[in-house]
Amino acid sequence: MGFWIRRGSCHEKTDEEGLAHFIEHAVFKGTAKYPTPALIAEVSDDIGGQIDAFTGKESACYFGKVLRERLPDLIDLLSDLITAPTFNVEELVREKNVILEEISQSEDHPDDWASELFYKNFWKGGPLSHSILGRPEQVRRYTANDLKDFFYKTYSPKNFLVVATGDVDSDEFISLVEPRLESNLANFDPDCAVKASPNYCRPFVNNVQRRNLNQTSIVMGFPAPNHSHPDRIAANLLCHILGGGMSSRLFLELREKQALCYQIGSFICHYADSGALQATASCASNNARELTQRAMAECRRMAVSGPTQAELDRAKLQLRTSLVFSQESSGSRMFSIAHQAMHMDSILDIDQQLGEIDATTHGHVCRVAKEILATDFVGILALGTKKGCEIRLSDI
């Protein structure tokens, strides 16, 4: 089960970057019922399952998986975390250092940092450009009052979503959740809402030099449909055909045929009002230009001619297989239902979702390929380029 908050880094102001993520850390430092981190850790282990949390661009989630008989204990702990944190000043001072280490760790992973820089440029000035972790100088200055103010305006009852899957009775589950939430929500403004500003994609080419890297990490991104757009399934199929497996266009051309890289792939991200189809690769710096040129040429070929019917059939089978296999995990089902509840008009069962995939036509995917893979609207971030090897506008 998961307690979801329909608020993430997209709902921060520019001077609030990192607060949503800081709160995720802070609630585990003490609550009204469980006042110390040690006690929260003990209770978590005593439940006997798995408990975790994360902060994203548009939501935060506190979730766990336990045996059925320990469900009341899981609800008790998670509900206290999201409604009654104490924001102990001494604990928060210590936790700042933990978050600063997390930021440093992200910077030390080239692929992670390249993705962070891509977001910052592709949606420059928009909420999606906000760093989930925040900037070090901001994290250092945040106070307990800053966290409390952001907490009480975002962890509002209207922003809560509670989802459970597996061996659970709906009526019993609601009877366990409702009293725990209602008793702790007196301090929240039930009408409080923070609306994210709109996001607009912008084309760019940005080379970032880092001398301590042996490779250049490259992110190429195109604007893609939002969560509920009718083209989202076609875009996902296109993404798989382009770079989703060993038979994908980019893998066959750039790794198998040209041997320009060890790894290359593509993935797609959907958000409330935007999205991005991204291709990522790492290569020797002196190969970065050629890799980019050949990748963009492959994208242009896909935009002009579209995929073959065989490629589309293969992608549909992969998507259907992934969807069916995900139903074997109660955790995956919980995440899927929560995603649909937050971002879609309705919650579809497995047959309806498979039907959406089957109903996507070759012509639909070809149209979406033309619209998405327009080379005048691509963003390219290259981390670790060397002097004389920078990617240029002429390369795309």
Which pLDDT value is given to residue 396?
86
Is 24 assigned a catalytic role?
yes
Among candidates 6, 105, 368, which has minimal Cα distance to 223? 368
* Spatial contact of 337 and 346, defined as CB atoms under 8 Å apart: no
Residue-by-residue DSSP string for 187-230: TS-TT---PPPP-----EEEEE--TT-SSEEEEEEEE---TT-T
C-alpha 133/C-alpha 111 separation (Å) is: 16
CA 95 – CA 87 distance, rounded (Å) = 11
Number of helices (H) and strands (E) in the chain: give both, helices first: 15, 9
Closest to 334 in 3D by CA, of 160, 155, 82, 166: 166
Do the bridges between strand 2-5 and strand 160-163 make them parallel or antiparallel, or are there none, so unpaired? Answer: antiparallel
pLDDT at 197: 79
Pick the CATH number of 2-182 from 3.30.930.10, 3.40.980.10, 3.30.830.10, 3.40.50.1950: 3.30.830.10
Q: What are 283-307's pLDDT values in tens digits?
A: 999 999 999 999 999 999 999 999 9
Q: Which residues in the chain show pLDDT less than 70?
A: 183-194
Between vectors from CA 242 to CA 210 and to CA 351, what angle results, nearest 5°?
A: 125
For residue 331, the model assigns a pLDDT of: 93
Q: Strands 379-383, 204-208: parallel, antiparallel or unpaired by DSSP?
A: parallel
> CATH number of the domain at 204-395, please?
3.30.830.10
Report pLDDT for 190.
58
For the chain, the distance separating the N- and C-terminal CA atoms, rounded to the nearest angstrom, is 45
Same-fold call for 2-182 versus 204-395: yes
Q: Which two tokens stand for residue 87?
A: 């924001």
Domain locations along the chain? 2-182, 204-395
Secondary structure of 275-303 as H, E, C letters: EEEEEEEEECHHHHHHHHHHHHHHHHHHH
The pLDDT value recorded for residue 186 is 62
C-alpha distances out from residue 275 to 28, 235, 269, Å: 32, 10, 5
Distance CA 158, CA 149 (A): 17
Residue owning tokens 């003990």: 42
| CA 8 to chain centroid | 10
Q: What is the pTM of this model?
A: 0.93
Catalytic pick among 12, 16, 17, 24:
24
